[in-house]
Chain A
Amino acid sequence: MTSASSPVATGDIPLPPNAVAARGSSYLDGGMTLRSWLLTHDHKRIAILYTLSITAFFFIGGAAATLIRLELATPMGDVVSAETYNKLFTMHGVIMVWFFLIPSIPSTLGNFLLPLMIGARDLAFPRLNLASWYLYVGGALFTIAAMLLGGVDTGWTFYAPFSTMFSNTHVIYVLAGVFVVGFSSILTGINFIVTVHKMRAPGLTWFRLPLFVWAQYATSAILVLATPVLAMTLVLLAVERLFGIGIFDPNLGGDPLLFQHLFWFYSHPAVYVMVLPAMGVVSELVACFSRNPIFGYKAMAYAILAIAVIGFLVWGHHMFVSGQSMYAGVVFSMLSFLVAIPSAIKVFNWTATLWHGRIVYSAPMLYALGFVGLFTIGGMTGLFLAALALDVHLTDTYFVIAHFHYIMVGGSVSAYLGGIHFWWPKITGRMYSDRWARFAAILLFVGFNFTFFPQYLLGMAGMPRRYHEYPPEFQTLNVLSSAGAVILALGYLLPLFYLTWSLLRGPRATANPWKATGLEWQTSSPPPEHNFDTVPVVDSPPYAYRPGVISPAVVQAREGTG
């Protein structure tokens, strides 16, 4: 393969003295039967099972979004009925949050890479890992059943008393589905925490861990502590709906705000579950393609922890106009501003990593830089929402929708795709076409901004969310947004083609095509089933890139003699 599609090798990566690149069969050679996949204990195969599942759900949730944007191209409700529209945005939210975003990076890249990055042969509890996937599938089946039975129309937030006493749809099925998939998250979280604590290779101290590992660790802590509260909240919803026991319905003596507090106590930390792993991926990518150690490594690690901790204290910012006390609002607002500080530090540090680096613009780098830009915009608009008086105007409008899509889609999905591209050679043993990948990344960035930036303006103008019809003056911006969605959809569909092509016809990848640091690159592509032939020993800091050193390959390429 010529240098046009593979990055230039620079710098010497100091190898641990006794690490030997494993030779021999890969984990993919150990059987291609259904049984070998469905009963596997291998974290790498489980990661692939997850990848296939969440990709399927991504496109189902995307189909719902397509219909939504189609409907919103005109002010009148002329594509689907109001009931159908309400079901579409509900299923879009439920599927994208619980069946795509929350499992995405942790269960795919995290599952595959965590043991490799710390020099372990598998996670601490491989069978629990497989159980996690089966729980995901179980939850998915409940949700699919709900869809087949006509869908649910409560919104992904299930506010009571609408969800308990007024909705005529099969709410219980979705509650069951989310409950079950929640346990999938909890088991994954337990597995990751124990693995990081107890199974690091000799010499791999906490401050030698890649930031990807720090991010998975913090994410797992959130999963483990927040998800049980969601589980119980869903149980209480079901109890009220099935048995009429008035916990949330005031007509039966309950309190609707109690539901909101319980729900958001989970759902706010959940958004950090969705973004922290992405931040971990971005750190790996930016360091590798700037050929520079991450600027301020310790600050980055502490920032990850700070985001996780403070993230548990801000849930009330979803309730500034709910009728909760003014004083509660003030406290939650202050804490919400505070949680933005570590996020800002991370953005500055990624930017500073470029400084004095040696930057290569491969596809993963484009996704990573896209993340930084889109996360910055999304994060800034979060400040508007943290400011009480502004939130009063902006909450429950398209401004909020734009804000969270900038972070979750512009941010997390971009980082997820960047990670998939970066570790694709490691996972599959093949290389893809960097030209097509870069084109898809740019298409995605352009389409994304066209789709979601107009929504900030719509929210400022007062267009509420979850609206099937809207006043005609909002049409222009809606049409722009729907047009952008077409480009965005193309950007998402393209990788399906060239990545599948690479599986069939792509050139074989070497152990370390990007010349990246990290233990996962010290074994073959794809790795053998037991990951490493010899347990690596670590004796150096992470990200030992040296941008000042130019390899002979670069000199040759420049002089045209390569």
Chain B
Amino acid sequence: MSAFGLPEQASSIAVRVDHLFYAVTLVTGVTALGVLIAMIFFGIRYREGSKARRAEDVPAAQARARRRVEVAWTLIPLLLFISAFVWASRIYVERATPPADAIEIFVVAKQWMWKLQHPGGQREIEELHIPRGQPVKLVMTSQDVIHSFFVPAFRLKQDVLPGAYTQMWFTATKVGRYHLFCAEYCGTDHSRMGGDIVVMEPADFQRWLVEHRGAVDMAARGESLFREFGCSGCHGQNASVHAPNLAGLFGRPVPLSDGRTVVADERYIHDSILLPRQEIAAGYAPIMPSFAGQIGEDDILALIEYIKSLAPEKERPR
């Protein structure tokens, strides 16, 4: 059945999307059918040669009733549309609001494959293992062109952009293996840029994590990158250079030299590493070198995880 209509429902939001889908199908189907039946009925009854009454035989009173019919067929669709709009928007807003306790998974898209990293350091290519019943949040970026992360069974997709992070969250509700497609045309092998989402029971997933654990988790990898690229030379505890302290930075507002204030989120850290002159922290000289071309997107994500880990426990941001 899945190739001839909606696929199986494998996420918590899929159920709600399908209910809306069926409701809209019902209303539009009934309307379209109504129009079709009216056309066929009129088409036969008022065909040339039939004996039905024609427009000039119709009394004026009926003509006045017309106005009421016209108002009705304007207002009723309007009310139906507003209902559909509100219903759909509420699901959409929920889709855009990840819960605080979601497991974060980092996705880097490139022509023509998906690279995924778990916080514990496990890396996957074109396959993503996740537990059933727990919210998962994907933090995604692209190394080259725009791609799109599409899981039909979840009823979700989100474009993945170069130079920015986009997010998508879901709670998988059914164990199984589901298609992952790239849904934004990205060049030659766009149709081959897919994979699978593998949903496992939580216990199985824990076992999988342990089996595939890398040497270090992402934050630890980020820490070694921090030293390897010389960041600690200026941002470390014993640095002689006047550079912003990164402990507790993530999620905090940062006043900039041009008077604006931005929040130190993933994007801010990403751009600070690649485009340090773009947003200079107030009170600091613009002396940080750019690491554009030296650090790949995967490594930037690891550095971000490390910087996040520098925050005190109780102030851990989302």
Asked whether, in the complex, the Cβ of A256 is within 8 Å of the Cβ of B55, the reply is no
From 139 to 186 in chain B, residues with beta carbon under 8 angstroms from any chain A beta carbon are: 144-146, 148, 150, 152-153, 155-159, 161-164, 166, 179, 181-186
Asked whether, in the complex, the Cβ of A380 is within 8 Å of the Cβ of B31, the reply is yes
* Chain A interface, >50% SS class: helix
Cβ-based interface call for B291 (8 A): no
A334 to B161, CA, bound (A): 26
A257 to B5, CA, bound (A): 32
Q: If the complex has contacts A340-B81, A547-B54, are A159 and B184 also in contact, measured as CB distance less than 8 A?
A: yes
Cβ-based interface call for A60 (8 A): no
Give per-residue flags for A512-541: 1 if the beta carbon is below 8 A from chain B beta carbons, else 0: 000000000000000000000000000000
Choose the segment among B123-131, B187-195, B232-240, B308-316 that binds chain A (4+ C-beta atoms closer than 8 Å).
B187-195
A462 to B149, CA, bound (A): 12
Choose the segment among A137-145, A382-390, A495-503 that binds chain B (4+ C-beta atoms closer than 8 Å).
A382-390
A250 to B166, CA, bound (A): 14
Across the interface, name the chain B residue whose C-beta is closest to A82. Answer: B188
Asked whether, in the complex, the Cβ of B91 is within 8 Å of the Cβ of A162, the reply is no
A372 to B35, CA, bound (A): 9
Q: If the complex has contacts A83-B188, A326-B92, A348-B35, are A390 and B24 also in contact, measured as CB distance less than 8 A?
A: yes
Which residues of A have CB within 8 Å of B54?
A: 356-358, 547-548
A78 to B239, CA, bound (A): 61
A358 to B50, CA, bound (A): 8
Q: If the complex has contacts A464-B150, A547-B55, are A8 and B48 also in contact, measured as CB distance less than 8 A?
A: yes
Cβ-based interface call for B295 (8 A): no
CB distance from A406 to the nearest CB of B (A): 11
Asked whether, in the complex, the Cβ of B39 is within 8 Å of the Cβ of A321, the reply is no
Which residues of B have CB within 8 Å of A554?
A: 48
Q: For the side of the interface on A, what is the size category?
A: 35 or more
Q: If the complex has contacts A396-B183, A396-B184, are A376 and B35 also in contact, measured as CB distance less than 8 A?
A: yes
Q: How many A-B residue pairs have CB under 8 A?
A: 257
CB distance from B48 to the nearest CB of A (A): 5
Which residues of B have CB within 8 Å of A477?
A: 3-4
CB distance from B253 to the nearest CB of A (A): 19
Choose the segment among B14-22, B99-107, B217-225 that binds chain A (4+ C-beta atoms closer than 8 Å).
B14-22
Choose the segment among A193-201, A427-435, A465-473 that binds chain B (4+ C-beta atoms closer than 8 Å).
A465-473
Which residues of A have CB within 8 Å of B87?
A: 387, 389
A383 to B54, CA, bound (A): 35
Q: Which of B66, B152, B191 is in CB contact (< 8 Å) with A470? A: B191
A549 to B95, CA, bound (A): 61
A376 to B43, CA, bound (A): 17
Which residues of B have CB within 8 Å of A128?
A: none
Asked whether, in the complex, the Cβ of B92 is within 8 Å of the Cβ of A393, the reply is no
Which residues of B have CB within 8 Å of A290?
A: 46
Which residues of B have CB within 8 Å of A372?
A: 35, 39
Cβ-based interface call for B36 (8 A): yes
Cβ-based interface call for B88 (8 A): yes
A468 to B182, CA, bound (A): 13
Asked whether, in the complex, the Cβ of A256 is within 8 Å of the Cβ of B188, the reply is no
A433 to B57, CA, bound (A): 34
Asked whether, in the complex, the Cβ of A397 is within 8 Å of the Cβ of B183, the reply is yes
Q: If the complex has contacts A161-B145, A393-B17, are A466 and B185 also in contact, measured as CB distance less than 8 A?
A: yes
Asked whether, in the complex, the Cβ of A159 is within 8 Å of the Cβ of B164, the reply is no
Give per-residue flags for A8-32: 1 if the beta carbon is below 8 A from chain B beta carbons, else 0: 1000000000000000000000000
Give per-residue flags for A146-172: 1 if the beta carbon is below 8 A from chain B beta carbons, else 0: 000000010100010110001100000
Cβ-based interface call for A296 (8 A): yes
A372 to B40, CA, bound (A): 12
A460 to B275, CA, bound (A): 41
A329 to B150, CA, bound (A): 19
Which residues of A have CB within 8 Å of B24?
A: 383-384, 387, 390
Asked whether, in the complex, the Cβ of A333 is within 8 Å of the Cβ of B77, the reply is no
Of B39, B47, B157, B162, most A-chain CB atoms within 10 Å: B157
Q: Which of A167, A323, A333, A358 is in CB contact (< 8 Å) with B161? A: A323
Cβ-based interface call for A461 (8 A): yes
Across the interface, name the chain B residue whose C-beta is closest to A358. Answer: B48
Which residues of A have CB within 8 Å of B161?
A: 250, 256-257, 323
Cβ-based interface call for B53 (8 A): yes
Cβ-based interface call for B206 (8 A): no
Q: Which of B16, B181, B183, B187 is in CB contact (< 8 Å) with A162? A: B187
Which residues of A have CB within 8 Å of B29?
A: 380
CB distance from B196 to the nearest CB of A (A): 11
Asked whether, in the complex, the Cβ of B35 is within 8 Å of the Cβ of A347, the reply is yes
Cβ-based interface call for B7 (8 A): yes
Q: Which of B4, B46, B91, B181 is in CB contact (< 8 Å) with A358? A: B46
Of A83, A358, A558, most B-chain CB atoms within 10 Å: A358
From 205 to 227 in chain B, residues with beta carbon under 8 angstroms from any chain A beta carbon are: none
Which residues of B have CB within 8 Å of A546?
A: 55-56
Q: If the complex has contacts A159-B185, A360-B48, A380-B28, are A329 and B144 also in contact, measured as CB distance less than 8 A?
A: no
Cβ-based interface call for A337 (8 A): yes
Which of A's residues lie within 8 Å of B, judged by CB?
A: 8, 77, 82-83, 86, 153, 155, 159, 161-162, 166-167, 249-251, 253, 256-257, 290, 292-293, 295-296, 299, 320-323, 326, 329-330, 333-334, 337-338, 340-341, 344-345, 347-348, 351, 354-361, 369, 372-373, 376-377, 380-381, 383-384, 386-393, 395-397, 457-458, 460-462, 464-471, 473-474, 476-477, 546-549, 554, 558
Can you list 19 A-B pairs with a CB-CB distance of less than 8 A?
Answer: A82-B188, A83-B188, A86-B185, A162-B186, A256-B163, A351-B42, A354-B43, A357-B46, A357-B55, A376-B36, A387-B24, A389-B16, A389-B90, A389-B92, A389-B155, A390-B20, A393-B17, A476-B3, A549-B56
**Top 6 A-B pairs, shortest CB-CB distance:** A250-B163, A462-B152, A548-B56, A387-B88, A389-B91, A388-B92
Other than the known A381-B28, A392-B156, A392-B157, what 10 A-B pairs have Cβ atoms closer than 8 Å?
A338-B81, A341-B74, A345-B74, A348-B70, A354-B43, A356-B52, A461-B7, A473-B3, A547-B54, A548-B54
